[in-house]
Amino acid sequence: MLSISKILKKKNKEKITMITAYDAPSARIAYDAKIDMILVGDSIANTIYGYKDTLKIELEDMIKHAQSVKRGATDAFVVGDLPFLSYQVSTEQAIENAGKMLKYSGVNAIKLEGGSFVCDKVFKIVNSGIPVMGHIGFTPQSYNQIGIRSRGKNDIEAERLIEDAKKLEDAGAFSIVLEMVTEDVAKKITESISIPTIGIGSGKYCDGQVLVWHDLLGMNPDFSPKFSKKYLDGYGIIKEAIKNYIKDVKSEKFPSEENTFKRKLV
Ligand code: KIV
Ligand code: NA
């Protein structure tokens, strides 16, 4: 299994790969494909539960899915997202829920959103023995406040992001997700800190990349974000398979002899 120290050592040597997964069979596929890290993201609210945003998912749901991922890929390095309102209320709440995620699901680290303003929490969580991955740039849990758009487009935003990244490193985060950060700022952040940056929509200079399972595999024909890449027409291929199944049943081609149990006649 990958360890924090091995992840840190990859910086400046080898790109780090991460993909989201929400269940056991998916986790197994990603692990067998030799992904570095699996993220049980709160993007599950969109991808699996069909919500429009990530706000409605509960810690209990995240823990259940993280358990499933760990069952499917016991030796994978798994990061579990802390969902909305599971760490914002207080430092005590943040430590307790980060601890629950680790204790009950067996994930190897937790991730939470925010920069400077969550650093006191990050510090205390890390010092409770719970590895933390940061997440700055576009942070979906606060889209109502900040809007859905890329970050770092002006100097003030750029400076703030670099400051946030440095403070997260100081607070003890082992890595930081940069979501929809302009390429130049992502590059600057990556060069300014000694922990790896994991980009999504933040260009090629990040130390690693993360993609959402359903985006990478083309599971949703109505959603193709600019920063993602479809490596499969999952929607089309799966639909075709189901169509073939329907056709076979209607035409009585399935089940066939080989799918059928028979009584031995003596
Ligand atoms: O929930 C998620 O999938 C994420 C990634 C986009 C980083 O946080
Ligand atoms: Na997330």
Q: How far is the CA of 212 from the centre of ligand 1 (A)?
A: 7
Q: Is 163 annotated as a binding residue?
A: no
Residue whose CA lies nearest to ligand 1 atom number 6: 212
Q: Is 113 annotated as a binding residue?
A: yes
What is the distance between the alpha carbons of residues 6 and 144, in angstroms, rounded to a whole number? 37
Atom of ligand 1 nearest to the CA of 41: 1
Q: How far is the CA of 34 from the centre of ligand 2 (A)?
A: 22
Strands 109-111 and 132-137: parallel
The architecture that CATH gives domain 4-233 is Alpha-Beta Barrel (3.20)
Task: Kindly report the average pLDDT of the chain as a whole number.
Answer: 97
Q: Please answer whether residues 27 and 38 qualify as being in contact, where contact means their C-beta atoms are separated by less than 8 angstroms.
A: yes
Q: Is 43 annotated as a binding residue?
A: yes
Instruction: Label residue 29 exposed, middle or buried (CB < 10 Å: 0-12, 13-18, 19+).
Output: middle
DSSP string, 85-110: TSSSS-HHHHHHHHHHHHHHH--SEE
Q: How far is the CA of 109 from the centre of ligand 2 (A)?
A: 13
Please indicate whether residue 224 or residue 252 has the higher confidence score (pLDDT). 252
- Is residue 265 very low, low, confident or very high in pLDDT (cuts 50, 70, 90)? confident
Active-site residue identified among 179, 183, 240, 257: 179
Q: Is 81 annotated as a binding residue?
A: yes
What's the pLDDT tens digit per position in 1-34?
899 999 999 999 999 999 999 999 999 999 999 9
Q: Which residues pair with 40 in a beta bridge?
A: 80
258 in active site: no
**Residue ranges lining ligand 1, Cβ < 6 Å:** 20, 39, 41-43, 81, 177, 179, 200, 210, 212
- How many distinct helices (H) and strands (E) make up the chain? 11, 8
- Is residue 257 very low, low, confident or very high in pLDDT (cuts 50, 70, 90)? very high
Is the ipTM reported for this complex over the cut 0.95? yes
Residue whose CA lies nearest to ligand 1 atom number 4: 41
Q: How far is the CA of 184 from the centre of ligand 2 (A)?
A: 23
What's the pLDDT tens digit per position in 184-236?
999 999 999 999 999 999 999 999 999 999 999 999 999 888 999 999 999 99
